[in-house]
């Protein structure tokens, strides 16, 4: 992997990632952009003990632009975008409308003395990861070398962002499909570098620590071993990775992908694990697309999904295991899983598809 860092017109950082050295990455951003100020703040919910980010300045962010005005396509034929180069393989840049930003500390004053109204600046960082220059492509369209380059970019960003003093946890994820809420159709994901440990991560750490205290073993190591030994929820089993539908899956079709060797984060993967990941992950994404075949003569189906890496925070969380969670809100052809009142209001999920049946469907969705 070769990386080239540069700056956009308003001072934001942009990094090109290429499979080999030699690509010309010296294009200059010629747009007349002024630096913007982030007014993000994080507020602590005194009842749940969870941090909520308030980023009112994001109301004016780009929303469903025409394909010819996509800000994630390369700059070509006089049309200037967020990517100055006329082509790229993978590119990462600071979000123009970030939920979290380092300069929030210069514009927001912390309030720590009132336990009912604890407020801090929304420091941290939000980045956009463009997986390919083709506007109409998808991650599943990448070859294994392209998927490996994205993995290398995620790993590099995890290392760099974790080193920032204000960052507690790095979260790499992709949302695909309008049904999920995606507002830019170009194949891309995001990275959030949080100044706090999100509540779900904190809950996982707490459960793992309690499991260690009661059994003397690691929760995630036992979980992966149990799923590899029992085929009913297993989807894919590689030499270094295992993909399975969780026993208590929340979503109609949900798969968790773990390295067989427990590691804290992406930076701890070894070369054998990195080499095997692209093929398995692309297989999973393509199986999701085959779950709901498109009618004959229509465009190929693209199942909406969220795909997210769960990594340990940089301080603590030693019992946590790196893993990827992939799920879709589609429960049947033409039907979406909408959160019911008990789910949105109480986090008490009710699933419409049994995990065992979902795993069987995904196994059947292998390529011919």
User: Under CATH, which number does the domain 2-196 receive?
Assistant: 3.30.428.10
Q: Which CATH superfamily is domain 200-364 in?
A: HIT-like (3.30.428.10)
Find out whether 2 is annotated in a ligand binding site. no
What per-residue confidence (pLDDT) applies to 96? 93
Provide DSSP, 207-253.
HHHHHHHHHSS-HHHHHHHHHHH-GGGEEEE-SSEEEE--TT-SSSE
Unique residue bearing structure tokens 């070894």:
270
- Alpha carbon dihedral 235, 89, 173, 304, in 10-degree steps, equals -60
Find out whether 135 is annotated in a ligand binding site. yes
- Strands 335-336, 305-310: pairing kind: unpaired
What per-residue confidence (pLDDT) applies to 61? 67
Nearest CA to 35 among 53, 9, 57, 17?
9
Answer positive or negative: Cα dihedral of 49, 256, 172, 337.
negative
Find out whether 130 is annotated in a ligand binding site. no
Active site residues: 188
What per-residue confidence (pLDDT) applies to 246? 98
User: DSSP H helical segments within the chain, as ranges?
Assistant: 144-162, 199-215, 219-229, 271-290, 341-346, 355-364
Domain locations in the chain?
Answer: 2-196, 200-364
What per-residue confidence (pLDDT) applies to 38? 85
Measured CA distances, 345 to 48, 153, 165, 248, 356 (Å): 13, 37, 35, 19, 27
Q: What is the C-alpha R_g of the chain?
A: 21
Residue ranges, the chain, pLDDT below 70: 59-63, 296-298
What per-residue confidence (pLDDT) applies to 296? 66
What per-residue confidence (pLDDT) applies to 23? 83
Contact 324, 256 (CB under 8 A): yes
What per-residue confidence (pLDDT) applies to 297? 62
Contact 55, 122 (CB under 8 A): yes
| Strand-pair partners of 243 | 236, 257
Contact 103, 174 (CB under 8 A): no
Find out whether 107 is annotated in a ligand binding site. no
Measured CA distances, 117 to 45, 320, 359 (Å): 8, 30, 45
What per-residue confidence (pLDDT) applies to 24? 82
């Amino acid at each position: 992997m070769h990386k080239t860092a540069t700056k956009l017109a308003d001072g934001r950082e942009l990094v090109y990632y290429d499979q080999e050295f030699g690509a010309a990455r010296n294009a200059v951003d010629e747009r007349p952009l002024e630096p913007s100020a982030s007014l993000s703040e994080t507020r602590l919910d005194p009842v749940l003990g969870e941090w909520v980010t308030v980023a009112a300045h994001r109301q004016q962010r780009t929303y469903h632009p025409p394909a010819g005005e996509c800000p994630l396509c390369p700059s070509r034929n006089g049309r200037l975008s967020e990517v100055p180069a006329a082509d790229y393989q993978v590119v990462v840049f600071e979000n123009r409308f970030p939920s979290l930003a380092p300069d929030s500390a210069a514009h927001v004053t912390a309030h720590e003395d009132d336990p009912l109204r604890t407020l801090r600046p929304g420091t941290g960082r939000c980045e956009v990861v463009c997986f390919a220059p083709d506007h109409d492509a998808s991650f599943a369209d990448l070859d294994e070398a392209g998927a490996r380059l994205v993995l290398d970019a995620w790993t590099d960003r995890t290392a760099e962002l974790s080193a920032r003093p204000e960052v507690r946890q790095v979260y790499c994820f992709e949302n695909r499909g309008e049904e999920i809420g995606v507002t830019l159709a170009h194949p891309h994901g995001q990275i959030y570098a949080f100044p706090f440990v999100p509540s779900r991560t904190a809950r996982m750490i707490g459960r793992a620590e309690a499991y260690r205290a009661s059994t003397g073993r690691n929760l995630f190591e036992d979980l992966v071993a149990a799923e590899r030994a029992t085929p009913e929820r297993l989807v894919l089993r590689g030499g270094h990775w295992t993909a399975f539908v969780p026993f208590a899956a929340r979503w109609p079709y949900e798969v968790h992908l773990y390295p067989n060797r427990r590691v804290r984060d992406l930076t701890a993967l070894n070369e054998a694990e990195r080499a095997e990941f692209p093929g398995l992950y692309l297989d999973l994404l393509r199986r999701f697309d085959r779950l709901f075949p498109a009618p004959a003569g229509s465009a190929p189906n693209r199942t909406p999904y969220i795909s997210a890496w769960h990594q340990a925070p940089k301080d603590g969380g030693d019992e946590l295991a790196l893993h990827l969670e992939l799920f879709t809100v589609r429960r049947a052809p033409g039907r979406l899983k909408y959160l019911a009142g008990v789910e949105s209001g109480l986090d008490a999920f009710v699933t419409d598809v049994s995990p065992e049946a979902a795993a069987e469907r995904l196994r059947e969705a292998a390529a011919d």
